[in-house]
Structure 1
Amino acid sequence: MIYAILSTLPWLVTFTFSETLRLEVSRSITADCGKPVTIHCAVLSSRNGLSIKHMEWFKPQTYCSVNSKGNLSQQNSSGNFRCDYEKGNLSLHFPKWRPEQSENFLCKVRTNQGVETKDTRVETREHWEGVEAVWSSDFPTCTFKQVCPTGHVEWFQDSTKIADQFIVNNYTDDDGMVKIYSYLKTHEQNKLYNCSLKSARSGQYLTSALIHSPSYLRARAAPHGPWWTFVGLSVIFIIEKL
């Protein structure tokens, strides 16, 4: 009987620690490019006498950590982030969120009551402000503005996808917003083209635009010339009869 009770003690101790010590974090956050983002991690315990030995934010590199004396240290951030700590609460702050930072951030704490780790997922909200499509010189061009995170450009002739016949250039500003400029290497002016922006994350099309040259409209209108002429003459004839 005594042996049976003693054999359960390690399990009881482990269960008690895991139940009393816990971390509270924001499990999922959606961030906007260029906007501030802060994620929090708080150590909580239902038992008295909690002593924090070590606490940190990492992914997998360490952003900042707190030692047993409550002293905060952080890696060289070059102004990209900062950390704040107060009484078991460690915050990681990004003044300007950039899409390449999207990932799981891990908060870990080691105390006299056990060890806990939890993660916060930060994803970038998809954003774009429009597309400008023009026939420039001898080829069609598209400019997608204020895109975040960046996407993939695809070109179509009517409903047929065009491969490896276009150029794409990306220009990123300080807020992580991307201007995507693309042009199609073609001189066929009597065709209708479509340029589309596809999400790199979901694979869905975000926006698109139709492009044609001035000669395309003339070619489309030419076969209807005699019909319009006939209608015009008929109208004139009817009016004069009245």
Structure 2
Amino acid sequence: MEVFLLATLFPLVSSATNSLVELRASDVVAGSCHGRVTLVCDVSEEKGITVSSLSWIHVKEKRPLCSTDHSIELKKQDRIRCRYTPQTRLALTISPLWPTDQGEYLCKLRSNLGMKNAKSQVQVQECFSGVNAVSSPSAVACHFYGVFPPGKVHWFHQGKNVTSAATSSIKEDHKGMYNVSSTLQVNEDSTAEEYNCSLWIPGAGTYLNSTKVHASQRTQRIADPNTAVSLHIFGLGSYLLLARVVMT
């Protein structure tokens, strides 16, 4: 009879204890690529509470990004910073933010007054890092790198969309961003004519960038001065175009 009463009362006591403490976290936190986001987890200030463990977990990766046991000195990773205010708050900052950081995060609390979980969602907004363009008498090419979400290159010439005549490729990097390249063959009589390559993001329904490229007698490279991109990203065709100039 005593065993039955204990088994019956235990869930009630556990539930009552669990309700003594509250955990709060922001629902959705949005940031741009290469930017910064901070997730904050707050513990309600209850009398007599002792926090034994407070941690942030990236649900997709199924591992704690930071965890504390009454310690203000938390481990620091390359892009992860954690700050713990004893008994009340654990803040997780990610900088720079990558698309692979997108998803659900779980704040977990263990205390003498019970256990609680709170969820936050990180969203990464569309972006791109830069663009390189190559031109020659027979082809123009554009390479957009650090793109998120995946996009497409649209080509325009004299007000007409000529994308169907282009060849394109897309590749994802370890950050969850994309390198998008496209090459358009042109007539060698169209030297000095202007072409426009534009980065279209289907999911957002918008162009993130447009770059003008001129077909030329000599191979030209138009690049973001703050970045350097290796030649292989343009593909074999563009590499040969550049190599031809080096050899002459």
Question: Taking structure 1 as the reference length, what is the TM-score of the superposition?
Answer: 0.61
Q: Take 1:128 and 1:49, find their aligned partners in 2: how far apart are those partners? A: 50
Matched AA of 1:22 = E
Residue segments in structure 1 that go unaligned for 5+ positions in a row: 215-242
Query: 2:66 aligned with 1:83, yes or no?
Result: no
The answer for the alignment partner of 1:65 in structure 2 is 67
Q: Take 2:111 and 2:129, find their aligned partners in 1: how far apart are those partners? A: 48
Matched AA of 2:17 = F
SS at match of 1:165: strand
- The C-alpha deviation readout for 1:98-150, integer Å capped at 9, x for no partner, is 232222221101112211111211111223589788864312323547x5525
Question: Taking structure 2 as the reference length, what is the TM-score of the superposition?
Answer: 0.59
Q: Take 1:30 and 1:100, find their aligned partners in 2: how far apart are those partners? A: 13
Q: Take 1:129 and 1:63, find their aligned partners in 2: how far apart are those partners? A: 26
Q: Residue 197 of structure 1 is aligned with which of 192, 199, 207?
A: 199
Alignment check: 8 A CA contact 1:139 1:183 kept: yes
- Computing the radius of gyration from Cα coordinates, the structure with the larger value is 1
The answer for the alignment partner of 2:118 in structure 1 is 118
The answer for the alignment partner of 2:127 in structure 1 is 127
Following TM superposition, by how much is the alpha carbon of 1:164 offset from its aligned partner in structure 2, in angstroms? Answer: 8.7
Alignment check: 8 A CA contact 1:30 1:124 kept: yes
1:84 to 1:211, Cα distance in 2 relative to 1, 3 A = closer
Over the matched positions of the two proteins, sequence identity in percent amounts to: 24
Alignment check: 8 A CA contact 2:128 2:144 kept: yes
RMSD: 4.6
Alignment check: 8 A CA contact 1:131 1:207 kept: no
The answer for the alignment partner of 2:229 in structure 1 is none
Following TM superposition, by how much is the alpha carbon of 1:179 offset from its aligned partner in structure 2, in angstroms? Answer: 7.0
Residue segments in structure 2 that go unaligned for 5+ positions in a row: 216-248
What is the aligned length?
203
The answer for the alignment partner of 2:241 in structure 1 is none
Write out aligned runs for 1:200-239 (5 A): 202=203, 204-207=205-208
SS at match of 1:38: strand
1:160 to 1:45, Cα distance in 2 relative to 1, 3 A = same
Alignment check: 8 A CA contact 2:74 2:83 kept: no
